Amino acid sequence: MTLADPVPDDYRAAIDYLSALDADWARHIAAVGPCLHQAKPAQEPYEALVRAIAYQQLHGRAAEAILGRMLALFPEVAFPRPEQLLAVEPQTLRACGFSASKLATIQGIAQARLEGRVPSRAEALVMDDEALIERLVALRGVGRWTVEMLLIYCLERPDILPVDDFGVRAGYRRLKGLDKAPTPAQLRALGMAWSPFRTVAAWYLWRA
């Protein structure tokens, strides 16, 4: 399945499968309409990770401003290469708005890419989901959720359910009219029934 191009047929199997689960799913999917999930498959995992770290715990506009200031330091490229990022003085990057913790994480990602611990896109495409998660969460400041966003948006994986995502758990609570959202472990168990279309399921739960 290709998730980058929101052509209805790309999602038809997923929509039909999820709609057939029960009346709640069918009603919600009918209300939301076609799945318009769009990935960003041109990005390298290194770039996707750096961007994801920049957005962590920040409002979207604030993160965009910080990234914009960083990118302005490298006007000759669309996104700085790892060696370019590491060559910049830390105080210069801090002045863009990165916290000390985020800066250390971003520099660690750049160094890990140079060492091969962060794979190229071509290498990542042939890696198993869990193998890639295990490799990347070993990096300082990189959690499972961050890698799952990479899998969904950069590598177009069709069966990823980010159970630690508050929006996904809250979406399921609203979908089912529950008093409280499921725990990550509970949602992981529930989500087994949505495989092999858990990425599309997550997209619909975000919209609940």
**Residues designated catalytic:** 165
Tell me the HSE value of 129 on the side-chain side, using a 13 A CA sphere: 17
The dihedral through the CA atoms of 205, 184, 47, 130 has a sign that is negative
Measuring CA to CA, how many Å separate 174 from each of 40, 74, 122, 202? 29, 44, 38, 13
- How far apart CA 121 and CA 175 sit, in angstroms, is 35
Measuring CA to CA, how many Å separate 32 from each of 38, 140, 162? 16, 38, 20
The whole-angstrom distance between residue 177's C-alpha and the CA centroid of its chain comes to: 27
Look at phi and psi of residue 38 and say left if phi exceeds 0, alpha if psi is from -120 to 50, else beta: beta
Angle at 110 between CA 105 and CA 113, to 5 degrees: 125
The whole-angstrom distance between residue 176's C-alpha and the CA centroid of its chain comes to: 25
